[in-house]
Structure 1
Amino acid sequence: MKIKIKLLSDLCTASGETHNSLIDLDVVYDEYGLPYIPAKRLKGCIREAALEMQELGLVTETQFGQMFGQSGSQKSAFCLSNAYIEGYNNIVSDLNKFQGTELVSQQNVLEQYTYTRTQTAIDYETGVADKNSLRTIRVVKKGIVFEAECSLIKPEFQKLLENAVSIVKHIGVSRTRGLGLVNMELIALDSRENIEKEHVFVKKEALKEQNQLHYTIYLKSPVICKSEQGNQAETKDYIAGNKVLGLIAGALGSASYQEMMSKEDVIVTNAYICMDGERCIPGRISLQKEKDQPYNEKGELMLEDMLYGPDVQDRQMAPAGIDYLDKKNRVAAVDTQISYHHQRPQDKSIGHATGNAEDGSSFYQLCSISAGQTFGGYIYANRQNAERILEAVKKLGDIRMGYGRSSEFGAVDFQIDSVQKVEEKEKRIKEAVLTFVSDTILYNEYGMAAAGTDTLKKYLEEMLDITDLEIRNPFLQYTTIGGYNVTWKQRKPIIQGIEKGSVVLLYSETGFDAGQLEHTFIGERVAEGYGEIEVDKPEEKQVVVYKPELHSGEHQQKELISDIINQLLNAEFERQMNDRIRTKLTESGKTLTKNADVLNAAVSKLRVMVKAEKNYENLIAEIEGIEDTKKRELCRSIVKAVNPKTLTEQICRQLEEKYDVGFELRWNENECYRMAYRNCITELKYLTKMGKGEQ
């Protein structure tokens, strides 16, 4: 199902952000510049409508609680996504084809759907504006249609939800001052639109005795992965394995999941950011660079791996701060965002948030991983458990994960797309580099959490069956590990562990089989993704990393499926028309200055003639009939400098060559004529004032 929202008046969904001094109250828009309505705002409006239904006796208190859930104890009966402009995917597809060009800059796109309003406050005693009361707000234009995906967890509440949605008539700020009037309706998708999601692309016949299933998670909306500290203004930059394990548990059911996990041979790794379809791993904390060292012109950055003790006595070094690296040593980073929210007072007669905790109102912010990114990880399982997992995941419909997934956050596309056989290969070596790919929990012989090198050595010696293992040059960083058990509604123990990205050098005089550490996890709670390690041969002291490649839309095929590029090209045409007219008149400044005594009269005469004549040729003919020679020559020079037909042809040809795409001008010849001379006269008025010293 989806909720369709048509704007019957302008709308401002306040973002809570101020990027500059021009806009005091801005709308919410995405990285493309496309405005949207956050799901939390929509759900809050629907909740208020349902609350009115409850007060009128149309809905019981029990039904209301079941429909919207209870914080921390009961799920909502429906999930709601952000409301995006109708045809959003087609618009984004076209914008991506011109990625990297000024045409599709965020502000250019935003201007197609919004405009600014300015307002002030009046002192009723004096009748003049109050000091410091001038405010500018950006609003979304009326007539635009938004659509929000809606999925019902409890189908029996469909009619109730439909009624509540239809009652909502205002959203956003200043809804009592003419903004935010909407028409909302819940629409059931027909069979052609309601396509069942496919999550599994692995056949059972491809499974082996021990399997490494590769999964990807594409974020269709922002996802919140709370840190153990519980600070909602921070999020992890990866999706923890326990979240994927919880997804599988929900698909399997309690009994089947307990049976599968009883043998402790299912492991789900963390999902890290992907680049070109490949999973990246955390960068080593041993990598350092010279202070303030930039990338060179080739996009390369030379780093020193302090694990090998390079000579850097005369150089000031600093941590490289590499979040993730792929197999080609390209640097990857996870985009995150902060969104601002509020909770209104419990007393609904107060029509705005106060931030006063006593009346239940609050302002808060949420940090999340931005939408549009892909994360990847692995599921290790034997044949029997792998078959169970594939069968369960196949039956999943729309998938949401993370905090706040009933509204705005957590919509993802989860896929298991490939499988590899897990094999042990003997690799007899004396020295190796061990990198912690995920946070690791170690316990000492007393059953206490201990993240030191002595405990690590005991774990490794037991795994490798040797007694002379040495841990050299450890670069260990520690982190706090905790969590929350939803079933038991209890916090997990807060303990200290080794943080991902830590690295040590292993050495054994007798040698060891490094193959035993491949596809192997160390420590405790490995089923949730903890304890993932990677073993490599020692490398060079210097490591070269590369900037991620920037993909441009210049060489993509320009087969457009929406009208957004045509709108942007028309807006660019209008801007260039104004700029060229301003430039031509500025270049004619000396001529205008010489005729300053008749300039004002000439501008007034020209304004009357432009309104009366319908084209350039008639205007020239009318100018020739002016009796005053000086005024006639001045008008003629101005008009000939600004030829609308020539300007239109030049600008259109330039835009089509620059962006390699044709477009349809939304103004006809007469409208272009009037636009050109309207701008011309406006500019002439300005120059006249400048000449008189009025500005």
Structure 2
Amino acid sequence: MLRVAVTMLSDWHVGTGAGRHGVVDRMVQRDRDGLPYVPAKTLVGVWRDACEIAAYALDEGESGVWGAWVEYLFGSQPALSERGVLPASGTGRPREAALVVSSLHYPRSVAAALAGKPLVRTAVTFPKPGVAIDPATGRAANRLLRYEEMARAGAVLVGQAEILGFAGLDAERQRCVAALLGAGARLVESLGGKRRRGAGRCRLEVDGLAVDWDWLRETPTPPGPPQQPETAAPSASSPVPSSGAAPEATGGDWEIAELRLVLDSPLVVHERTVGNAIRSLDHVPGWVLLPAVLQRLARPEAAEAARRGDLVVTNATVEVDGRPGRPAPLALVHDKEDASRLCNLMAESVPDGLRAELFDGAYVGEYTPGRPLPVRHCPRSEHAHNTIDDAVQRPTEQVGGVYTYQAIAAGTVLRAQVRAREGLLAPGWPERLAGVWRLGRSRKDDYGRARVTATPARPPDARPVPVGPLRVWLLSDALVVDERLRPSTDPAHLAAALGRALGVTLRPLPDPGGAGLATRASEARRLESWHRRWGLPRPTLLGLRAGSCLSFEVVSGTVDPEAVRRVELAGVGLRRAEGFGQVRIGDPLLHAAFRGAPADGTPTPLSEPAPPLPPLGEHAGMVRVVEEAAWRQEIRRACEALAATRRGRVLGEGYEQVPPSQLGALRVLVTNLTGPRDARAGWWLDRLTATRGRQSAWPEATRHQLRRLLTEPDTVWEILALPEADLTVTENGRAELRERLWAEAVRTLVTDCLTAHARAVDARGEA
């Protein structure tokens, strides 16, 4: 694992492409701590460009070995080849990037220190004015004044990088990788917006990369990168292929591992593409988690168990009261204006005055009679990116242009389960699932990093089945087929599959229409998936949507509670190992009548409790820059407020009697003031008393107040009354900043008061 650090040598801007109306036209991107950061895509883009320059020089202007190493590290660019921007690299599979980079953020100690100091945190950025120049007149064009948000210079942003498969390379190839990345890092001089106009100057440092420059000089023909395999090797994203027909599922009880996923970065689980926007699901399907589970178990019997249904990975949903959230039943509605008022269409009629509306993307917890039902939503975020055309150095449609990702927000806590038949896997297998996972789309850079903990859990006990119709709640999409093995969304085919699993015969209850309580609330869902190993689309999946509620009549047989327990653990229908077909039979929620009772909508915290604040250490200087900027902002704000309403407290009572020429002399004095012990201030004040004409022009109260203000170190701070505790982060920061900013505070305070006084005099004269 490599440590990557970028030191910003000038103010910088990595923007969102949006602004805040009336405040700023272009905003910087912020992380979940509210601090500016450098997205991994931005870093990878400039790092790749720098490595391409180095490779071009090492290959002496031709397409050679070093260019192949660039493609090995950063991946091929098939989209550019298809558009003719780059020459085609053959008909094989696109090469995946071996370099995995995280986004760069303020160090943990700095972010933690600023978290409780909002006044200091806001000083991390500042608005920078700008204009557009009219080419005809050479002057600022009308109505084109703009404000761009800039992050301050001096920041050190840190992250991590990893070279996949680096340990498997021989020594010569490892030197090639280190030399190319090291040379590229040295060539990175700036990043972000307006970097050709002085913004974004930086220094990129990579720790843990042993670069042998002597070897590079002495090796004219280095070895090339490993060849791209014809098919991808099994990995976290490539499940082990089947070697034949999978045997039937075995019996026995289950062992369960509870997975808790804390997202360190946003997670994109592709749902659909709409124009230039990639939309994400609000959960992580089991088919996304299964390859990662198989990779970490690293046992052939685990893959075989998954194919025969003896290993099940459920969907990862948002955590509700410490357990996996369950998709809200489609039979559960709420009032359009008051989402806390609930109604169960399968157990009660809609109360008068309740304008029913379905829950959209909600998850619920366990229902306990007499208590509010916990309802949560999975937080999602939007992220804008662009692809730069090298020819014009701007995003263009030919190379992809601007696009957005919708993602599950960073900090979200998700829950899932891995279930395996008892005795199938070696003891202690849940411990092998813990660690850092990378999931979803674009996981090589900004997205998909999750910290996973796995805890063994015992299977639930069997519970009584309610008398009457069998009510079934789908906790995940269910895939069933008809008599001709075609995908079906007909409840009758689900009844057949469920009946076989329970050992009974089921028949769907007919829909009563508007004459009675609902017997079914279901929807169909169509899923388009992709086979990464083959590089081809998979067949469309058509099934009943998660959250669907159906009622069945038991035609023959008796529903055994133990059989219900087995079905709820194993699932029903096809592809159960991937999380499909999870059901809940006879849940108390489906039989509950709320009569407009409220739900508990308290949001679940997005992240774990914060650990103790780490020491600032080497980053204290970086924090001092922001701290000083925050003090300056508060000084200006306080001076403006005092100048508007309390000038007498600053200049002393009777200052209005002083002639303008004498006030002008005071302005000149404070402009050149350096500190409370500046001899010029004492000499000037003594002259006011000694000179008869000046003594009469300056009232005694004014002279006394000015002497205190200009010669005592604490007077100006008493007058300003800054919230110093909220403005100070570093050790001894209060005392040091008081001393350093004393002259600036006095100068700003006196100048603002004199300016406000002059304006007031002019206003009275005009009146």
TM-score where L is the length of structure 2: 0.75
- Structure 1 gaps, min length 5: 191-207, 295-300
The Cα shift of 1:507 comes to 5.3
Mapping of residues 226-237 of structure 1, within 5 Å? 226-228=270-272, 232-237=277-282
- Structure 2 gaps, min length 5: 79-92, 167-173, 211-251, 367-371, 510-517
Per-residue deviation, residues 639-684 of structure 1 (Å, max 9, x unmatched): 5997973563587796659999997314235743650452242243
Distance 1:598 1:468, change over 3 A: same
The Cα shift of 1:31 comes to 2.9
Query: 2:676: which partner in 1?
Result: 615
How far apart, CA to CA, are the structure 2 residues paired with 1:388 and 1:453?
40
**Paired residues of 1:520 and 1:533 also in contact (CA < 8 A):** no
Q: Which moved more, 1:420-429 or 1:16-25?
A: 420-429
How far apart, CA to CA, are the structure 1 residues paired with 2:747 and 2:627?
21
The Cα shift of 1:185 comes to 2.5
**Paired residues of 1:32 and 1:109 also in contact (CA < 8 A):** no
Secondary structure of 1:430's aligned partner:
coil
How far apart, CA to CA, are the structure 2 residues paired with 1:26 and 1:314?
44
The count of aligned residue pairs is: 656
How far apart, CA to CA, are the structure 1 residues paired with 2:439 and 2:355?
44
Secondary structure of 1:148's aligned partner:
strand
Query: 1:678: which partner in 2?
Result: 748
Aligned-pair Cα RMSD in Å: 4.1
The Cα shift of 1:43 comes to 0.9
Mapping of residues 648-667 of structure 1, within 5 Å? 648=717, 656=725, 664-665=733-734, 666-667=736-737
Mapping of residues 329-348 of structure 1, within 5 Å? 329-345=373-389, 348=390
Mapping of residues 66-215 of structure 1, within 5 Å? 66-70=72-76, 71=78, 73-85=94-106, 87=107, 89-95=108-114, 98=116, 103-104=117-118, 109-112=121-124, 114-123=125-134, 126-155=137-166, 156=174, 157-188=177-208, 210-215=254-259
Secondary structure of 2:480's aligned partner:
coil
**Paired residues of 2:477 and 2:543 also in contact (CA < 8 A):** yes
**Paired residues of 2:261 and 2:413 also in contact (CA < 8 A):** yes
Structure exhibiting the larger radius of gyration computed from Cα positions: 2
Is 1:350 equivalent to 2:392 in the alignment? yes
Q: Which moved more, 1:632-641 or 1:380-389?
A: 632-641
| AA in 2 matched with 1:430 | G
Query: 1:490: which partner in 2?
Result: 536
The Cα shift of 1:186 comes to 1.9
Indicate which of 557, 560, 573 corresponds to 1:513. Answer: 560
**Paired residues of 1:602 and 1:634 also in contact (CA < 8 A):** no
The Cα shift of 1:211 comes to 0.9
**Paired residues of 2:130 and 2:147 also in contact (CA < 8 A):** yes
Mapping of residues 467-506 of structure 1, within 5 Å? 467=505, 469-471=507-509, 473-506=519-552
Q: Which moved more, 1:315-324 or 1:589-598?
A: 589-598
Per-residue deviation, residues 516-546 of structure 1 (Å, max 9, x unmatched): 3332412221111111112313222335311
**Paired residues of 1:11 and 1:141 also in contact (CA < 8 A):** yes
The Cα shift of 1:479 comes to 1.8
The Cα shift of 1:408 comes to 1.4
Q: Which moved more, 1:137-146 or 1:34-43?
A: 137-146
Distance 1:165 1:342, change over 3 A: same
The Cα shift of 1:145 comes to 1.5
Is 1:438 equivalent to 2:476 in the alignment? yes
Is 1:416 equivalent to 2:430 in the alignment? no
**Paired residues of 1:215 and 1:418 also in contact (CA < 8 A):** no
The Cα shift of 1:268 comes to 0.4
The Cα shift of 1:124 comes to 5.7
The Cα shift of 1:15 comes to 2.3
Indicate which of 331, 336, 340 corresponds to 1:291. Answer: 336
The Cα shift of 1:602 comes to 5.0
How far apart, CA to CA, are the structure 2 residues paired with 1:128 and 1:660?
43
How far apart, CA to CA, are the structure 1 residues paired with 2:756 and 2:723?
28
Distance 1:278 1:683, change over 3 A: farther
Q: Which moved more, 1:255-264 or 1:564-573?
A: 564-573
The Cα shift of 1:13 comes to 1.8
Query: 1:541: which partner in 2?
Result: 594
Could you tell me the percent identity over the aligned residues?
A: 17
Is 1:375 equivalent to 2:419 in the alignment? no
The Cα shift of 1:465 comes to 3.0
How far apart, CA to CA, are the structure 1 residues paired with 2:659 and 2:469?
87
Query: 2:356: which partner in 1?
Result: 317
**Paired residues of 1:285 and 1:321 also in contact (CA < 8 A):** no
TM-score where L is the length of structure 1: 0.82
Distance 1:623 1:404, change over 3 A: farther
How far apart, CA to CA, are the structure 2 residues paired with 1:571 and 1:187?
30
Is 1:64 equivalent to 2:118 in the alignment? no
Distance 1:278 1:641, change over 3 A: farther
Per-residue deviation, residues 40-70 of structure 1 (Å, max 9, x unmatched): 1111112112222333344524333222223
| AA in 1 matched with 2:409 | S
Per-residue deviation, residues 80-106 of structure 1 (Å, max 9, x unmatched): 000112x2x22333455x3xxxx427x
How far apart, CA to CA, are the structure 2 residues paired with 1:413 and 1:486?
24
Per-residue deviation, residues 175-224 of structure 1 (Å, max 9, x unmatched): 2222222221221189xxxxxxxxxxxxxxxxx95212111222111111
**Paired residues of 1:602 and 1:635 also in contact (CA < 8 A):** no
